Amino acid sequence: MDFSQQISQYILSGLATGAIYALIGLGFAIIYNSTGIINFAQGEFVMLGGMFGVYFHTVHNFNLAVALLLAILFAAVSGVLFERLAIRPLRRATPLGLVIITIGGSILVRGLAMLVWGKDTHALPTFSGDEPLSLAGATLLPQHMWIFALTVLLIVLSKLFFQFTITGKALRACAVNQRAAGLVGIDVRRMVMFSFLLASGMGALAGIIIAPLTMTSYDVGIMLGLKGFCAAIIGGMSNGLGTVLGGLILGVLEALGAGLISSGYKDAVTFIILLLILFLRPQGLFSRGESERV
Amino acid sequence: MKIRSVSYIAVLLALLFFAGVSSAAESIRIGALFSVTGPPSFLGEPERNTAQMVVDEINKAGGIKGRPLELVVYDTSGDPTKAVQLATKLIKDDKVVAIIGPSTTGETMAVKPVTEKEQIPLISCAAGSKITDPVNPWTFKTAQNDTLAVARIFEYLQKRKLDKVAILSVSDGFGASGREQLKGQASKYGITLVVDDTFGPKDTDMTAQLTKIRGSEAQAIICWGTNPGPAVVAKNVRQLGIKLPLFMSHGVSSKKFIELAGEAAEGIILPSGRVIVADLLPASDAQKKSLMAYVQNYKHHYNVEGDHFGGHAWDAVMLLKKALEQGADTPASIRDQLEKISGFAGIGGVFGFSPTDHAGLTKDAFVLVEIKNRDWVLVD
Amino acid sequence: MRRELIKFALFAAVVLTVPAVVKGGYLLNVLVFVGINTMLAVALNLLLGFAGQISLGQAAFYGLGAYLSGILTATHGWNPWLALFAAAAAVGLLAFAIGFPILKLKGHYLAMATLGFGIIVYIVFNEYVDVTGGPSGFPGIPGLQIGDLRFDSDLKSYYLIWTTALLIMLLAVNLTRSRIGRALRAIHDSEVAARVLGVNARLLKVQVFACSAVISCIAGSLYAHTVTFISPSTFGFHFSVELLTMVIIGGLGSIYGSCLGAALLTLLPEFLRTFQDYDIVVYGLLLIVMTMFMPGGLVQGAATVWRLALRLLPAKGRGDA
């Protein structure tokens, strides 16, 4: 086992983890861009995806594909419900109020999940077997390929969606200026709801494709949510490639940090990066600065 | 709406008030602190269930010397501050004669000064060896010391001349205590630790640490943690095609681990209390009777198999019962009687306390088991 | 100002006579922790309620106080009081230093940066095993004493903690009534406007941040010497959120509200114990419902309800006539 093989293993493992962070980060970015809200409950939808997946697959014996779709559907509906019940009624919302509401929401969702499904950790079967694949001196599982494939697919789809569909364009308009978007006849409220639908669905997908590798339980959402947020920050809260790159960079740095520096402090490395970026380039690594809005 | 919520609070206040007032006349009150919720709930939940089950049984059989036991259980949710508060509550408000629990080493260390000051015997269900080392006159424990588990694994390695070992421990109380023991005892067995790495309790990918281990000259891997981390480690080991023998701690000796790790669990060796292999034991085994009774009873009550975490609570209640049967009913006399118990075959092992030993177990409390065909097999 | 002082004196009198009513037991022990949480909530409220700056990393300062005190006394044999002041000074400097870059951020970004800081500190508590004892905790911290008076019972701890808490509350009330307090509120409403009017907003924010950190740090030291054992899990993200809940429930900018919030949230689990698993759900609901329907907190909310009731009752009377 030589050093270059080790490095390539770190990088590939990191990319796989990073892809997950990217998916979660995209959810943050979509909601932020259409509403200006950082949804602290985003991580909980990742958890919901995994837990609904386990619920439909092992309790109701649906086959994996059906369980996956149902899980995404249910998580997305929960996202919309969350928006309707907790975000929309809040008129004259201050950023502070929104931060607190979404934190409250995340605690509530986590608590309900614990009451309904218990505190146990659950595993899902892998989508296509457990035979390791060899790649550039590193080994990965077929599940990692699923993660890469689905992440790429989702990014391409969302790119197409934001570029070419009316709804996508309307969402982008909301991101630029909500009031102006409203003036040209875009139903801003529906767009906000829609962004929650998209974000929670994406989070749920992330939750369900990693469940076979990492297991899932009612409390996995906190850390994954935070990592996803870091990805989005590194990427400058963009709806697209920036966040994806942010996630991948974060994943690789984490794996390298754990392998070469210290596994105990690898999460600290993540958050030090987050702080440095917030201090030095709050607009993210890949976008140009924006003037402060009053 | 607002007025109604006010009245709810009033009702709650009233409830709290009366809860403190009511009490049964003749009963013996024992307190219990378990982390039924929070991260260590996998310990606290079976412990609470077991303690309640055993106490109910004792009462059904007429109590101890005609006096029923009354168990007061509080949930600490794994928080040392809460554990301290609730220990005070048990002592001052509920006036218990002894306390069993808490579930984790951290909470026990926090509670220890309180029970010592108030002179109430504490029978901890946590594993950390520093709970009873040095011996504290008022603190006992039922969970097997991790010292003993480490000794079991190292003996096995020594016999097979595997002397270069990589350790990978979780960064929580359980893992930290295990890591300390692994590092401390290695030289005694002629073992060198070539890699000493950790992972976080919520980490989802350990390939980085394992890649480092793969690149080292380790001949075996020891992973110290509780679910779900070790299951991820097992899966990652398989993914990376690492062929080294993999050892785990007694922290994963439950069916849950096999369920989580699936195929990847095959061939893993770990030290465990006898409870998971109760039916494989020869009839001559001193613990067989207690074990079978516990396992079957737990299954009957809660529909899942009793695990060795619940066993710690079983042992704690039964040890208390023994002390009470000797006529002890004040905290001080219970303490004295506990210290005299010897040859008591419980779930965790055969207990024998003395003024210099409040852990009461030898390394025979552990057996080495291997996972084969999704079940446990005794090794040697 | 005089009315304010009378109000405070009344409050202090009530607080100091409580032990006579409670008479020891468990409740008194819980009330000691209410005192500690009051200091923490007041500290956060200075930052959040007056300067309008959110912090999700308060538990880090609290933990730093506890760990510095613990390490300096138990490992290095310092006098506990000396350790307490040394810790407060060190944490004050640290907060001052990181305050400049952190408080440049706003809203969500500020929340996330303070959260990140909190997690980093937590990881250090957990991983720096040789010094902090790591996840299994740090035992054997000596208690406080003044001369021959050892604070080793709940009653004595109660007076120690609450005297400190009352002093901090008095300080906070004074601060908010002063020129600085008005400047802070100006920043809260519109930072740009405040700056235009000649308020050095940035320096002021950092000063409040450091002040809040020092108070939290002192609370941490007192916690360490009262409980004599500390472990990282007490100072995690979860606790920062709990503090936030206390402040929100009590009402942003209300010092007495913070005390109420701390009392409610510390006592609430005692009521909820019968519901055990449900308490996390109740927390979540409380945060949402309070922010939605009583953004001013319980104190203000109750006042509104009272005024409404007063207005409704005579109206009803007229209707009957």
- Tell if the CB–CB gap between B171 and C127 is shorter than 8 Å: yes
Give tens-digit pLDDT for A97-110.
888 888 889 989 99
* Residue B126, SS3 per DSSP: coil
Dihedral in degrees, nearest 10, Cα atoms A37, A40, A45, A51: -170
Dihedral sign computed on CA atoms, order A227, A230, A234, A240: positive
B2 reaches C (C-beta below 8 A):
yes
B8 reaches C (C-beta below 8 A):
no
Name the token pair of A220: 């996995």
pLDDT band at B5 (very low <50, low <70, confident <90, very high): low
Identify the architecture of domain B2-144+291-363 in CATH: 3-Layer(aba) Sandwich (3.40)
B380 reaches A (C-beta below 8 A):
no
B-C C-beta contacts closer than 8 Å: 94
Residue B49's identity, in one-letter code, is N
In this predicted structure, the answer to whether residue A292 has a pLDDT above a threshold of 60 is: no
B42, B43, B77, B235: best mutation site toward chain A, by most A Cβ within 10 Å?
Answer: B235
pLDDT of residue A72: 95
Among B72, C284, B47, residue whose Cα is nearest residue A82:
C284
Give tens-digit pLDDT for B106-154.
899 889 988 998 999 999 999 888 888 889 999 999 998 888 899 999 9
pLDDT of residue A291: 40
The mean per-residue pLDDT over the stretch A214-236 comes to 88
The mean-pLDDT minimum among A87-96, A134-143, B12-21, B84-93 falls in B12-21
Give tens-digit pLDDT for B237-288.
998 989 999 999 998 988 889 988 988 999 999 998 888 888 888 888 889 9
Give the sheet arrangement for strand B28-34, strand by strand: B69-75, B28-34, B98-100, B122-124, B139-141
CA B201 to chain centre: 18
In chain B, what are the domain boundaries?
A: 2-144+291-363, 146-272
In this predicted structure, the answer to whether residue A96 has a pLDDT above a threshold of 80 is: no
The mean-pLDDT minimum among A119-128, A146-155, B177-186, C164-173 falls in A119-128
The mean-pLDDT minimum among A199-203, B92-96, C212-216 falls in B92-96
C-alpha count within 13 angstroms, C-beta hemisphere, residue C180: 16
- Tell if the CB–CB gap between A95 and C116 is shorter than 8 Å: no
B207 reaches A (C-beta below 8 A):
yes
Among A235, A250, A233, residue whose Cα is nearest residue A287:
A235
A284 CA: distance to closest CA in chain C (Å): 12
Crossing angle of helices C25-45 and C154-177, in 10° steps, is 20
CA triplet B101, B102, B106: central angle to 5 degrees? Answer: 145
Distance, CA of B7 to CA of B281 (rounded, Å): 58
pLDDT of residue B6: 52
pLDDT of residue A208: 93
pLDDT of residue A87: 84
Q: Chains touching chain C at 3 or more Cβ pairs under 8 angstroms?
A: A, B
Secondary structure element (H or E) that encloses residue B376, with its range:
strand B375-378
Q: Name every chain A residue with its beta carbon within 8 A of the beta carbon of C295.
A: 97
A139, A141, A146: best mutation site toward chain B, by most B Cβ within 10 Å?
Answer: A139
pLDDT band at B7 (very low <50, low <70, confident <90, very high): low
Nearest CB partner across the interface for A139, out of B42, B241, B261: B241
pLDDT band at B11 (very low <50, low <70, confident <90, very high): low
What is the CATH T-level fold of the domain B146-272, as seen in this structure?
Rossmann fold (3.40.50)
B73, B88, B136: best mutation site toward chain C, by most C Cβ within 10 Å?
Answer: B88
Chain A interface residues (partner B, CB cutoff 8 A) = 1, 3, 5-6, 9-10, 13-14, 16-17, 114, 119-123, 125, 130, 132, 139-141, 210, 213-215, 217, 219-220, 222-224, 254-256, 258-259, 263-264, 266-267
The mean per-residue pLDDT over the stretch A134-156 comes to 88
Give tens-digit pLDDT for B280-328.
888 888 899 889 889 888 989 888 878 888 999 999 999 999 999 988 8
Q: How large a percentage of chain B has pLDDT more than 70? A: 93
How far from A97 is each of B376, C114, C293, CA to CA, in Å? 53, 17, 11
CA A19 to chain centre: 9
Distance, CA of B332 to CA of A22 (rounded, Å): 60
Q: Name every chain A residue with its beta carbon within 8 A of the beta carbon of B209.
A: 258-259, 263
Name the token pair of B162: 């595997």
pLDDT of residue C317: 47
B9, B11, B22, B89: best mutation site toward chain C, by most C Cβ within 10 Å?
Answer: B89
In this predicted structure, the answer to whether residue A130 has a pLDDT above a threshold of 60 is: yes
Cis peptide bond upstream of B121, omega within 30: no
pLDDT of residue C296: 77
Nearest CB partner across the interface for C25, out of B80, B92, B117: B92
3-state helix, strand, coil in chain A (%, to 5): 75, 5, 25
Number of Cβ within 10 Å of residue B217's Cβ equals 11
In this predicted structure, the answer to whether residue A43 has a pLDDT above a threshold of 80 is: yes
- Tell if the CB–CB gap between B88 and C29 is shorter than 8 Å: yes
Name the token pair of A184: 């040209």
* pLDDT averaged per 10 residues, chain C (length 321): 85 91 81 95 92 90 97 95 96 95 86 91 91 86 88 88 95 86 79 77 90 97 92 88 87 89 84 66 82 79 78 57 41
The mean per-residue pLDDT over the stretch A58-80 comes to 93
Nearest CB partner across the interface for A264, out of B171, B215, B239: B171
User: C133: nearest CA in chain B?
Assistant: B176
Nearest CB partner across the interface for C292, out of A90, A109, A226: A90
CA triplet C300, C306, C307: central angle to 5 degrees? Answer: 90
Among C69, C72, C81, C66, residue whose Cα is nearest residue C147:
C81
Check residues B26 and C92 and name the one with the higher pLDDT. C92
